[in-house]
Amino acid sequence: MAGNSFGQLFRITTFGESHGEAIGVIIDGCPAGLPVDLEYIQGELDKRKPGQSKITTQRKESDTVKILSGTFEGKTTGTPIAMLIPNEDQRSKDYSHNVDVFRPSHADYTYQTKYGIRDHRGGGRSSARETAARVAAGALAKLLLKTQGIEIVAHVSSVGKIKAPNVSINDAQEFIEEREKNIVRCADPATAEEMIEFIDSVRKDGDTVGGKISCYVKNCPVGLGEPVFDKLHADLGKAMLSINAVHGFEFGSGFEGSEMRGSEHNDIFVKSHLGDVHTITNFSGGIQGGISNGMPIEFRVAFKPVATIMKNQATIDSQGNIAEISGKGRHDPCVVPRAVPIVEAMAALVLADHWLRNRNSKLS
């Protein structure tokens, strides 16, 4: 199975299945001498782990990460870093009824057809459990970016048709602290309460709902990204669309920009009294010609409703016979709150990779 690695200079390879012994990641290309804050890495994993609240899946995983290689005396050595996260609460019997049937909107049929074999226990490799490995790697990428003053923050900006108003970010840590005050991870408290109530009603109905995450990159320098195939927004799009359940990505003005005129949409450059160049508006989302322009990078990621619902559904089995899949097992009514650290992690991996590439593109 190819396609398990991501990045060029800051490169990760994830491994493991939902119901195997463990999942993990190997990080290659992280510069030597970076202090490794294990408490910070674990804190990022804690934001993604299941069982956090009544509006997330009740699978109980501590997601305790172990660093097996690539560090010495609390710092990276420049060699491959291996991180391991043991699985603790697999409950494979919850999936015994899925052995021979294809769950609607899951990867069962496509995996079976492509490989001739599939792990029916929670989807195996296709399970969102794999994203814990990405969060661990992304936390390390965040630590690297922090040395350059680059901060990445995200929050749940919509659930179903409930939308939060635009939020301003003056201080990244204050924004995160405000977001973490509620279980839905929305930075607007009033909207958060409405979202929580709605998700809980969906949960009680045995159903699921999707939503959007808005992400912001502060203090990104000018020059990250490449002008043709490796555009910064193209790599961000690939990263986000690789996350389970993601069905949409837009940056800057996004799809709404298609409804504007160029005279409205163009970001006018100005120079401040301090000599720095910026734009009056930011419809470009901080990226022009595939390269960061120094303005805040802004993008949004849309998640579909989780495919596992607690309702019986019609389907077929592996022989093509009509079958029914029962609503059984653990239930995640809305994955979006737990996806916030995943979006941040994938953004960090892209930016860390491009920062290293940019650093190497100039003569010192």
CA distance 137 to 132: 9
Across the chain, mean pLDDT equals: 92
Residue 330 among known ligand-binding residues: yes
127 is in an annotated binding site: yes
User: Is pLDDT of 92 > 60?
Assistant: no
Residue 100's pLDDT is 85
Degrees, nearest 5: CA angle 254-219-65: 90
pLDDT for the residue 38: 97
pLDDT at residue 337 above 80? yes
CATH superfamily of 5-359: Chorismate synthase AroC (3.60.150.10)
Q: What is the pTM of this model?
A: 0.93
Q: Is 69 annotated as a binding residue?
A: no
What pLDDT score was predicted for residue 364?
Answer: 47
Q: Is 129 annotated as a binding residue?
A: no
Q: Tell me: is residue 86 an annotated ligand-binding position.
A: no
Whether residue 227 is annotated as binding a ligand: the answer is no
306 labelled ligand-binding: yes
- Residue 304 is labelled as binding a ligand: yes
Q: For residue 252, what pLDDT band results from cuts at 50, 70 and 90?
A: very high
Domain ranges in the chain?
Answer: 5-359
Q: Is 181 assigned a ligand-binding role in the annotation?
A: no
Give pLDDT tens digits for 297-318: 999 999 999 999 999 999 999 8
Which whole number is the average pLDDT over 168-177? 94
311 is in an annotated binding site: no
Q: Is 262 annotated as a binding residue?
A: no
Q: Which tens digit of pLDDT belongs to each residue from 14-67? A: 999 988 899 999 999 999 999 999 999 999 999 998 766 677 666 567 889 999
Please list, residue by residue across 154-169, b when 16 or more beta carbons sit within 10 angstroms of its beta carbon and e when fewer do.
Answer: bbbbbbeebebeebeb
Nearest to 77 by CA among 113, 120, 112, 27: 27
Is 289 marked as a binding-site residue? yes
